[in-house]
């Protein structure tokens, strides 16, 4: 068997990011950090997609993570970025655990639409909640790193570094999980649940576990996005946000845990460049690029790398 090179590659990418990050312009640091936050959400979607489940409502957990982090600062004055990330992850994971009892019973379009409906309920609630700023949302406290506040010029780099390390840890853990018997069950669940049950495993239990992992990852991504952007609003739970995550998932492909982050970064770059070129029709450029990927790389951008490796 060939040695598993993914953790090593991930480590090298993050190392390169930490070194080069010091040279990148501020807007680029922002773009990469947001891409890492979205990549975490997509990493969770990838786990679900491997068992054939498409969640049209992953923004629910992204938003829960962001609001958990934001409210911790607003209500208790907590600004430590690690605490905020853990809180976002825990809140989303807990919500995923509870909702998982319902959602793990459903498959295909029913699963997709039910997840969409729940995320829209949260959106509706947040828009109507004045205490949380209604549709305007609220500002998130400037975050600190273990009690320290970096100099203004280094804030973006510091957040990027934290995001990169968080993404690295999450990606390596998910990679390891995908290699366990429970992780490997995903394509089997997608293919034939009857057989899974008759082999002595519970498909529903496996999906529930995957759903909680995906929710926690989305919560972590949401908390990271909240600290990076410095502002949160109900749009984070809106269906277009969920659509964006699915967009990135298709763009990236499900071949490897690196793919979601690569996909999110390329999504961010296309979005920024397209917006710069034509501020009114940038969505068309985005749509066109997704179309091109679907036609020419049906397994996503990651197939470019896999193809080269196999050759």
Partner 1 sequence: MAAILDAQGLSKNFGAVTAASDINAAIERDSVVGLIGTNGAGKTTFINMITGYLKPDRGRIRYEGRDITGLAPRDVTRLGICRSFQIPQLYASLTAFENMLVGIGVVLRNAGRGGFLSRGRALVPGHDLAAEDVAERILERFGLADYRDRNAQVLPGGVRKLLDIALTMVARPKILLLDEPTSGVSAEEKFAIMEMIMAAVRAEGTTVLFVEHDMEVVSRFAERVLAFYDGRIIADAAPEIALADPEVKRYVVGGVLRA
CA angle 67, 70, 73 (to 5 degrees): 145
Q: Which residues contact 241 (CB under 8 A, 6 or more apart)?
A: 59, 62, 63, 235
**Would you count residue 190 as binding partner 1 (CB under 8 A)?**
yes
Q: By C-beta, is 198 or 296 nearer to partner 1? A: 198
Question: Does residue 37 sit in helix, strand or coil?
Answer: helix
**Would you count residue 305 as binding partner 1 (CB under 8 A)?**
no
Task: From 221, 182, 174, select the one nearest 7 (Cα to Cα).
Answer: 174
**Would you count residue 304 as binding partner 1 (CB under 8 A)?**
no
- State how far the Cα of 226 lies from the Cα of 62, in Å rounded to an integer: 10
Question: Does residue 31 sit in helix, strand or coil?
Answer: helix
Segment near partner 1 (CB under 8 A); pick from 81-89, 195-203, 231-239, 279-287 = 195-203
Q: By C-beta, is 68 or 206 nearer to partner 1? A: 206
DSSP state of 279: T
Minimum Å gap between C-beta 29 and partner 1 is: 33
- State how far the Cα of 92 lies from the Cα of 95, in Å rounded to an integer: 5
Segment near partner 1 (CB under 8 A); pick from 152-160, 174-182, 270-278, 302-310 = 174-182
CA atoms within 13 A on the CB side of 63: 27
Q: By C-beta, is 8 or 149 nearer to partner 1? A: 8
Q: By C-beta, is 100 or 183 nearer to partner 1? A: 183
Minimum Å gap between C-beta 254 and partner 1 is: 13
Sign (positive/negative) of CA torsion 148, 153, 155, 157? negative
Out of 138, 177, 239, 305, the only residue in the binding site for partner 1 (CB under 8 A) is 177
Token couple for 308:
């080269």
* Helix or strand run (H / E) with residue 139: strand 138-139
Token couple for 170:
């999450």
Q: How many CB atoms lie within 10 A of CB 90?
A: 16
Question: Does residue 145 sit in helix, strand or coil?
Answer: strand
Helix spans in 22-80 (H): 26-50, 59-76
Out of 26, 129, 192, 283, the only residue in the binding site for partner 1 (CB under 8 A) is 192
**Would you count residue 4 as binding partner 1 (CB under 8 A)?**
no
Q: Sketch the per residue contact string, 198 through 237, with partner 1: x for CB under 8 A, - otherwise.
A: xxxxx-----------------------------------
Segment near partner 1 (CB under 8 A); pick from 113-121, 193-201, 257-265, 281-289 = 193-201
Token couple for 56:
């049209």
Q: By C-beta, is 52 or 150 nearer to partner 1? A: 52
**Would you count residue 184 as binding partner 1 (CB under 8 A)?**
yes
Out of 107, 176, 231, 306, the only residue in the binding site for partner 1 (CB under 8 A) is 176
- State how far the Cα of 72 lies from the Cα of 66, in Å rounded to an integer: 10
Out of 2, 180, 240, 280, the only residue in the binding site for partner 1 (CB under 8 A) is 180
Minimum Å gap between C-beta 293 and partner 1 is: 21
**Would you count residue 197 as binding partner 1 (CB under 8 A)?**
yes
Footprint of partner 1 on this chain (CB under 8 A)?
A: 1, 176-177, 180-182, 184-185, 187-188, 190-192, 194-202
């Amino acid at each position: 068997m060939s040695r598993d090179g993914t953790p090593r590659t991930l480590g090298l990418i993050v190392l390169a990011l930490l070194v080069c990050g010091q040279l990148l312009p501020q807007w680029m640091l922002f773009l990469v950090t947001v891409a890492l936050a979205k990549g975490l959400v997509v990493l969770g979607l990838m786990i679900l997609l491997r068992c054939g489940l498409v969640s049209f409502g992953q923004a629910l957990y992204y938003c829960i993570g962001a609001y958990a982090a934001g409210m911790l600062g607003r209500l208790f004055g907590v600004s430590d970025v690690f605490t905020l990330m853990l809180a976002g992850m825990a809140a989303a994971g807990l919500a995923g655990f509870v909702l998982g009892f319902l959602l793990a019973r459903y498959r295909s379009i029913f699963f997709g639409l039910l997840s969409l409906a729940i995320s829209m309920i949260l959106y509706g609630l947040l828009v109507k909640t004045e205490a949380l700023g209604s549709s305007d949302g609220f500002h998130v406290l400037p975050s600190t790193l273990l009690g320290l506040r970096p100099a203004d010029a280094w804030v973006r780099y510091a957040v990027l570094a934290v995001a990169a390390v968080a993404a690295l840890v999450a990606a390596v853990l998910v990679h390891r999980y995908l290699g366990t018997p429970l992780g490997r069950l995903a394509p089997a669940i997608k293919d034939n649940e009857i057989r899974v049950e008759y082999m002595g495993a519970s498909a529903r239990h496996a999906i529930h576990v995957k759903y909680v992992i995906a929710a926690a990852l989305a919560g972590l991504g949401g908390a990271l996005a909240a600290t990076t952007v410095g502002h949160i609003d109900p749009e984070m739970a809106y269906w277009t946000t969920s659509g964006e995550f699915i967009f990135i998932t298709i763009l990236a492909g499900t071949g490897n845990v690196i793919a979601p982050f690569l996909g999110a970064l390329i999504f961010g770059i296309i979005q920024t460049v397209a917006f710069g070129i034509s501020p009114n029709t940038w969505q068309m450029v985005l749509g066109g690029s997704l179309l091109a990927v679907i036609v020419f790389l049906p397994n996503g951008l990651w197939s470019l790398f896999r193809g080269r490796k196999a050759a």
